[in-house]
Amino acid sequence: MLEGIFDINHIFDEEGIKTLKRFGWNGSVAVQNHNEYSEEKINTAVEYGENCEFKVYSGVKISTKNQNEMEKAVKKYRNKVDILLVEGGDVKINRRVLEMNDVDILSTPELNRMDNGLDHILARLGSTNRVAVELNFGNLLKSKNYDGSKILWAFQRNLKLSKKYDTPVVISSGANDIYGIKAPGDLRGFLNTIADSLYSKKIIETTSKIIDYRLYLKNKNVLMPGLEIVEE
């Protein structure tokens, strides 16, 4: 079983990976955009991590407003990477993603919206299909004025729904470079301002549980969730 706390970011360079470790992370999910995916890039990042005893897992974020394109991309990348994210915002994409147990994380469901991007029906779908909702801390930090207030309100609303319906939630730094990297304590401290401390702890640990689940499914003896070949 995978233990520790893991960030979700776009850090692939050696200095950035060493910084993540120094800040207190046990590992990270290094995310590429689906239309820029490079196996060599993630393999190099994994090697940098191994050199300093830091776990780096591969991730791809699918960004498209076309549902058919999104579903094709999910099929294309599901077995290529450890963690699969889909960028939300469009209500049809939000719903479809939360219906798909091949997707791990619905990223930024509130993106470019006047609302939070979720309702009780979508929260239930996420719970049923084990699709987590992302709180992207980097997006909040980069926002200005009214946009920041909107994002913060969306976070609070989505946390309330997710807690009620037991929908997984992850928080990410979303860092692109060393200047965007945040310590686990910083993200935990932020969560404590919008949720109770026990729920904050659960959220900060959810990324490692998602990784652990995907590693379990890659086991050759696992045919599907809950169905395994038992060797005598």
Q: How many CB atoms lie within 10 A of CB 108?
A: 26
For the entire predicted model, the pTM comes to 0.94
CB neighbours of 198 closer than 8 A, spacing ≥ 6?
Answer: none
**What domain range includes position 96?**
6-219
What total number of domains does the chain contain? 1
pLDDT value of position 2: 74
CB neighbours of 32 closer than 8 A, spacing ≥ 6?
Answer: 10, 38, 41, 42, 58, 59, 60, 61
Quote the Cα angle for 107-127-200, to 5°.
65
Residue 103 belongs to some domain of the structure:
yes
Tens digit of each residue's pLDDT (9 = 90 or more) over 165-222? 999 999 999 999 999 999 999 999 999 999 999 999 999 999 999 999 999 998 867 6
Instruction: From 93, 74, 96, select the one nearest 85 (Cα to Cα).
Output: 74
Residue 94 belongs to some domain of the structure:
yes
Residue 232 belongs to some domain of the structure:
no
Residue 171 belongs to some domain of the structure:
yes
Residue 231 belongs to some domain of the structure:
no
Is residue 227 over pLDDT 70? no
Give the orientation angle of helix 184-194 with respect to helix 197-217, to 10 degrees: 120
Residue 227 belongs to some domain of the structure:
no
CATH of the domain at 44: 3.20.20.140
Residue 1 belongs to some domain of the structure:
no
Quote the CA–CA distance of 30 and 55 in Å, as a whole number: 10
Tens digit of each residue's pLDDT (9 = 90 or more) over 95-111? 999 999 999 999 999 99
Residue 229 belongs to some domain of the structure:
no
Instruction: From 184, 183, 113, 124, select the one nearest 155 (Cα to Cα).
Output: 113
